[in-house]
Amino acid sequence: MSTVQLAQIKTDSKTSAIQSELRIGQLRIPLPNRFPISPERNALKPAGVKEPLPGEVAVLARLAPPETVKKILTQEEALKSMARFLSKETTADAVRMLYLAFKGGAVINQTQDLKTILDLQYLAGLDIITVQHSLDISLDDYESHLHFAERWADERGVDKPIMPIIQASDNKETAAKLLALVEKHEPSMLGFDLRGGFYYHALRAIEEFKIRKPEIWIHAFQTPPKIRFGRGLLTCSEGMVLPMFGIDSFSRWIVPPPPTPLTKEVINVFDRKGWGALKKKDYEAIRKNTTSCNCAVCQGKDLEPFYEGKVLDVLARAKVHDHLSQRKELEAARDSIKKGEFLSLLNTKEYPREFLKQIPKDKETAK
């Protein structure tokens, strides 16, 4: 089995952020970090970027509405076809894991269905086996799922680490119970499904778990571009502040196409200067028509080339830019945590600074 562990752990002085090294087999991956999902890799060609998208861990993310889940669970050819696609999606040197974004009431709640999803991951040759939790499943049923996955691995001789993925709840007590349940299984890693939102109390529960178990790698799935907190939507990039809650890495959300026609003006684009997500008119007004970014998409140019062409091309550029630029900014985050100065770094960034004003004062200095 490729062992998964965190090493060289260094804690921030005023937040729960941790700078560390994720070791998976022979790989050494600096944390905090951001890892790509399938739609971001698919965006490379329309974005005009020839180089592969950087990311040592590949999240093979799929939308999973009821009809898709039913086909995988009941049709042999659908199962084999998906396994083939998953096995070929990335290069062999990436650490690959599956994430299904269940939609429309789709859920895996029967052990035989769980076995099919586990077999799918085995057939695809994935490196990490994920066992996803849903808020529609009771705590007892999810614990049964974890026990079943462990027995399945033993019986099949599957020598791969298992990542439990729990969904964020609105209730801190529920989140704490879920974490206590998972902790009994002594995982080396934990997935946290943000469900495209910002769940403050669940994040606080994750933070407390991480303080107790700093050696466990925690990855956040379904991270939206902005924070919805209190009554409104903040400009602050959600992924960039997740380290203060003990999150080691994250990946962006995978969402269905919008119900209304997408336009270039409503696409969120990461702002490296202020660590926010800005729309076109905001970039024009606040940043004077420049992204101040030298990534492979922006290349230090103004906004005109970025917004040229079809709307889906602009969306592709935004996806690739967000990934590349946030990975670069996370280098500064790692350096600041190592020095115990992550909170100071957040306060130099316009939009995290606004976010910090919204949360309880004790959170900023929690340890």
Distance separating the N- and C-terminal Cα atoms of the chain = 34
Which has the minimum average pLDDT: 91-105, 155-169, 184-198?
A: 91-105
Residue 294 token pair:
């030298």
The per-residue pLDDT for 336 is 98
Residues 6+ apart with CB under 8 A from 194: 168, 220, 221, 222, 223, 224, 238, 253
Is residue 176 within 8 A of residue 205, CB to CB? The reply is yes
3-state secondary structure at position 127:
coil
In terms of pLDDT, which residue wins out, 175 or 364?
175
Q: How far is the CA of 343 from the CAs of 16, 89, 279, in angstroms? A: 10, 38, 26
User: How many CB atoms are located within 10 Å of the residue 117 CB?
Assistant: 23
Q: Is pLDDT at 291 greater than 90 in this prediction?
A: no
Range of the domain at 234: 4-261+359-364
In terms of pLDDT, which residue wins out, 291 or 208?
208
CATH code of the domain covering residue 19: 3.20.20
Residue 328 token pair:
């670069």
Burial grade of 251 (CB within 10 A; 0-12, 13-18, 19 or more): buried
pLDDT in tens, 119-139: 999 999 999 999 999 999 999
The answer to the question of residue 288 being in a domain is no
The answer to the question of residue 290 being in a domain is no
- Provide the Cα torsion 176, 177, 181, 182; round to 10°: -30
The answer to the question of residue 171 being in a domain is yes
The answer to the question of residue 37 being in a domain is yes
In terms of pLDDT, which residue wins out, 93 or 145?
145
Q: Is pLDDT at 360 greater than 80 in this prediction?
A: no
Is residue 80 within 8 A of residue 119, CB to CB? The reply is no
pLDDT-based confidence at residue 359 (cuts at 50, 70, 90): confident
Q: Is pLDDT at 285 greater than 60 in this prediction?
A: yes
The per-residue pLDDT for 366 is 47
The per-residue pLDDT for 257 is 80
The answer to the question of residue 143 being in a domain is yes
The per-residue pLDDT for 363 is 53
The per-residue pLDDT for 258 is 80
Mean pLDDT calculated for residue range 325-349: 98
Q: Is pLDDT at 364 greater than 60 in this prediction?
A: no
Q: Which residue spans within the chain are E strands per DSSP? A: 4-11, 18-24, 27-31, 33-34, 57-64, 95-102, 129-132, 162-167, 189-193, 217-223, 226-229, 232-237, 249-252, 269-271, 276-278
User: How many CB atoms are located within 10 Å of the residue 367 CB?
Assistant: 10
Residue type, 207: E
The per-residue pLDDT for 91 is 79
The per-residue pLDDT for 337 is 98
Q: Is pLDDT at 342 greater than 70 in this prediction?
A: yes
The answer to the question of residue 279 being in a domain is no
The per-residue pLDDT for 362 is 57
Mean pLDDT calculated for residue range 19-25: 96
- Provide the Cα torsion 167, 118, 184, 220; round to 10°: -30
Residue 79 has, within 13 A of its CA and on its CB side, a CA count of: 16
Q: Give me the number of domains the chain comprises.
A: 1
Mean pLDDT calculated for residue range 324-343: 98
**Most confident stretch, 245-254, 285-294, 303-312:** 245-254
The per-residue pLDDT for 261 is 87
In terms of pLDDT, which residue wins out, 367 or 28?
28
The answer to the question of residue 42 being in a domain is yes
The per-residue pLDDT for 365 is 46
pLDDT in tens, 35-77: 999 999 999 999 999 999 999 999 999 999 999 999 999 999 9
Phi and psi torsions of 119, nearest 5°: -60, -40
Residue 250 token pair:
């994250």
Question: Which of 199, 196, 202, 203 has its CA nearest to residue 253?
Answer: 196
The per-residue pLDDT for 231 is 74
The answer to the question of residue 253 being in a domain is yes
Q: Is pTM, for the whole model, over 0.85?
A: yes
